[in-house]
Amino acid sequence: MVFILDRQIIGGIVAAILTASILVGLCLAQNVPANFVFGDSLVDVGNNNYIVSLSKANYVPNGIDFGIPTGRFTNGRTIVDIIGKYLFSITLHKLLAVAILYKQMLIEYSFLFIKIFSPGQELGFKEFTPPYLAPTTSGSVVLKGVNYASGGGGILNQTGKIFVGRINMDAQLDNFANSRQDIISSIGHPAAQKLLGKAIFSITIGSNDFINNYLTPIISAAEQQLVTPEAFVGTMISRFRLQLRRLYNLGARKILVANVGPIGCIPYQRDVNPAAGDNCVSLANQLAQLFNAKLKSLIEDLSTDLQESKFVYADVYRIVEDILQNYISYGFENANYACCYVSGRFGGLIPCGPPSKVCEDRSKYVFWDPYHPSDATNVIIARRLMDVIIISGSGRAFCSGVDLTAAEDVFKGGVKDMDCRVRPGCPNEPLEGSRLQQGSKLLSLVIFWSPLKVPSS
């Protein structure tokens, strides 16, 4: 079926988008006093620099596009660096893409958007959230947030033993408890409780529990024979439940939890499992999907059980999967091979380090090294996560005192339809509802995806 949208409908839709965008953007910018980060090497910004560990990134060519090696396991910024700097941004080019389709209809709204938000305008923190173990992370610095993430860390305490030193989730929570006490000592208990209640807590962890625990070549062979994937994932979820409850009991209320990405597609997994050929490693991806399904249920349970808690489930798996399947449309030229490599068919056998070769154009590679995404990929993931939070209505979870009901109602059903249309084998059912609802769903497709994908029937 063909959508015929008149000026009034389009105007109403774009006005709703702008309303939701502006209100949530300003809310996040003004009402988020601190950003606390937990996780593994995907979001580590230098904690492992200060411990004895085989999992380090404070040497070249890591950080080649950051200026210097900082301990980040990528060529530039991590996902949380980008989200922290740009807590909210529906980028201008997406709105203009719609304006190309509906020129005169949207021009006044485009100018309104330009006036309020210039492209890339910073609404977040002026500085990157610092690593907990850095000597300079003290005093008033802690009041703006701390990064506790550690390369090699996992949900389970036995995860990452091959690296010797790493900070697993339980230890990261211990460190946060210390920071919390410092905050209380600095500003008093009531003010500290208020700050923590408004702060954003993000958690990106779980990959190492598979890659460097259950799936470790040779070392884990016996465990795989004795422990089923279901039992192992069950142990992870049980532990994670206790950890998330502890974080809540320490004062966290706004908690974003990222799921595990398609780890079977990283260069390392593909090189150590040559039988997969040109495909991703199915077992690793199946484990991630099993964990993610249980994690989503856990987040729903905690959201119901924990009073005043505001959890957001971040579906990183789906975002990265889409990037890998449509990498050319995202501007990449290589979705399989590590940009920083030494050996292996996919450059995934040896970690990135001084002996490594580096691709000429890092922006054309999805993966920086055998395990981690490039800065270019992190930018896409970060923006997509923020888009999902805003347009799906989850933005309300991180805002208080802002009524977004009218704007959010426009998008109800749009996210589901968008997901359906990009999944192979998903039934192409006609969109239901009024012309306004139809238009909103079409526009939600445009807002989410680049290049532009407009349904014609």
How far is 156 from 170, CA to CA, in rounded Å? 8
Task: Give a yes or no: residue 405 inside a domain.
Answer: no
How far is 217 from 221, CA to CA, in rounded Å? 7
Task: Give a yes or no: residue 427 inside a domain.
Answer: no
Strands 200-204 and 254-258 come out as parallel
Mean pLDDT by 10 residues, the chain (457 residues): 50 55 55 91 98 97 96 97 65 45 47 39 64 97 97 98 97 98 98 96 98 94 93 98 98 96 98 97 98 97 95 94 97 98 97 97 98 97 78 53 38 34 36 34 32 33
CATH number at residue 371: 3.40.50.1110
| Residues labelled catalytic | 41, 369, 372
Query: What's the structural domain count of the chain?
Result: 1
The 3-class secondary structure across 328-389, one letter per residue, is HHHCCCEEEEECEECCCCCCCCCCCCCCCEECCCHHHEEECCCCCECHHHHHHHHHHHHHHH
In terms of Cβ atoms closer than 10 Å to its own Cβ (0-12, 13-18, 19+), residue 188 is exposed
Confidence (pLDDT) at 445: 32
Confidence (pLDDT) at 385: 85
Query: Which residue range(s) make up the domain with 229?
Result: 32-87+132-400
Task: Give a yes or no: residue 57 inside a domain.
Answer: yes
Task: Give a yes or no: residue 296 inside a domain.
Answer: yes
List, in order, residues 6 or more apart from 402 with CB less than 8 Å away: 23, 24, 27, 396
User: Which amino acid, residue 368?
Assistant: W
Task: Give a yes or no: residue 394 inside a domain.
Answer: yes
HSE-CB for 106 with a 13 A CA cutoff: 23
- CA dihedral sign of residues 346, 281, 259, 46: negative
Per-residue b or e along 107-145, where b marks 16 or more CB atoms closer than 10 Å to that residue's CB? eebbebbeeebeeeeebbbeebbbbbbbeebeeeebbbb
Strands 340-341 and 357-358 come out as antiparallel
How far is 109 from 93, CA to CA, in rounded Å? 13
Confidence (pLDDT) at 84: 80
N- to C-terminal Cα distance for the chain? 4
Q: Determine the 3-state secondary structure of 108 from DSSP.
A: helix
List, in order, residues 6 or more apart from 371 with CB less than 8 Å away: 41, 73, 211, 266, 267, 268, 348, 351
Number of H helices, E strands in the chain: 16, 8
How far is 160 from 153, CA to CA, in rounded Å? 6
Task: Give a yes or no: residue 415 inside a domain.
Answer: no
Q: How far is CA 118 from CA 114, 211, 259, 388, in A?
A: 5, 41, 32, 21
How far is 152 from 164, CA to CA, in rounded Å? 9
The per-residue pLDDT for range 100-137, each reduced to its tens digit, is 444 444 444 444 444 433 333 333 466 899 999 999 99
Q: What is the DSSP letter of 430?
A: P
How far is 249 from 32, CA to CA, in rounded Å? 19
What residues are paired with 200 via a beta bridge? 35, 254
Chain-centre distance for alpha carbon 111: 30
How far is 47 from 58, CA to CA, in rounded Å? 10
Confidence (pLDDT) at 127: 84
Task: Give a yes or no: residue 216 inside a domain.
Answer: yes
How far is 61 from 56, CA to CA, in rounded Å? 12
Task: Give a yes or no: residue 421 inside a domain.
Answer: no
